[in-house]
């Protein structure tokens, strides 16, 4: 129902949200949002349409104009934009410093890891050589020991022909 204005009494006019929007110069949804934010109450309801009195119209107009002034103030807008740009530059510089620091730490970590791997290889290589030579010497010692023990335990065996001529 467009353009509903009803008389609450002979002196007071009532306005729908659409009427208020037309008078203020905005959309119906903006009027609805302002009424809701300000907590304004309707004067009456005619079928599905909420009707508001002159005080609501004035309050909506005042709030809308205040919002419009805040949005259109170029000096404040430029100042706030400059502050925002300065803050973003500071944040960007801080992020760059963090990235540089983390890159440096990562490089150091990789160098340390490589150094540790080289040290481990160096420690393992002599052990392998020592282990191989120790194994060979142990094997030779064991063979010699076995031969000596065999000779000591067993009496000297004579061959069959030595037994005959003995």
pLDDT band at residue 1 using 50, 70 and 90 as cut-offs: very low
Query: Please, are residues 33 and 58 in contact by the beta-carbon 8 Å criterion?
Result: no
* 5-72: CATH number: 1.10.1660.10
Residues 6+ apart with CB under 8 A from 15: 5, 23, 51, 52, 53, 54, 56, 57
Question: Given CA atoms 112, 118, 121, 127 in this order, what sign does their dihedral have?
Answer: negative
C-alpha dihedral, 102 to 107 to 112 to 116, nearest 10°: 130
The pair of structure tokens assigned to 61 is 């107009």
Q: Angle formed by the axes of helices 28-38 and 17-24, to 10°?
A: 100
State pLDDT tens for residues 102-157. Answer: 999 999 999 999 999 999 988 888 776 566 666 666 666 666 666 666 655 666 77
State pLDDT tens for residues 29-50. Answer: 988 898 888 888 888 888 888 8
**Which pLDDT does position 96 carry in this prediction?**
95
**Which pLDDT does position 162 carry in this prediction?**
77
Angstrom distance (rounded) from CA 57 to CA 50: 13
Domain residue ranges in the chain: 5-72, 77-123
State pLDDT tens for residues 46-101. Answer: 888 889 888 888 898 988 888 877 766 666 666 777 888 888 898 899 999 999 99
The pair of structure tokens assigned to 55 is 């005080």
First-to-last alpha carbon distance for the chain, in angstroms, is 145
């Amino acid at each position: 129902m467009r353009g509903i204005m009803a008389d609450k009494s002979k002196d007071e006019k009532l306005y729908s949200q659409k009427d208020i929007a037309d008078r203020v110069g905005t959309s119906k949804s903006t009027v609805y949002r302002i009424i809701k934010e300000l907590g304004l109450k309707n004067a009456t309801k005619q079928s599905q349409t909420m009707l508001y009195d002159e005080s609501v119209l004035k309050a909506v107009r005042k709030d809308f104009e205040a919002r419009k002034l805040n949005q259109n103030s170029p000096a404040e807008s430029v100042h706030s934009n400059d502050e925002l740009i300065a803050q973003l530059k500071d944040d960007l510089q801080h992020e760059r410093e963090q990235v540089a620091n983390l890159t440096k730490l990562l490089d150091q970590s990789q160098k340390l890891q490589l150094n540790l791997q080289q040290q481990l290889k160096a420690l393992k290589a002599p052990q392998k050589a020592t282990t191989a030579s120790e194994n060979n010497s142990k094997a030779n010692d064991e063979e010699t020991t076995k031969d000596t023990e065999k000779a000591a335990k067993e009496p000297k065996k004579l061959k069959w022909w030595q037994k005959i001529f003995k």
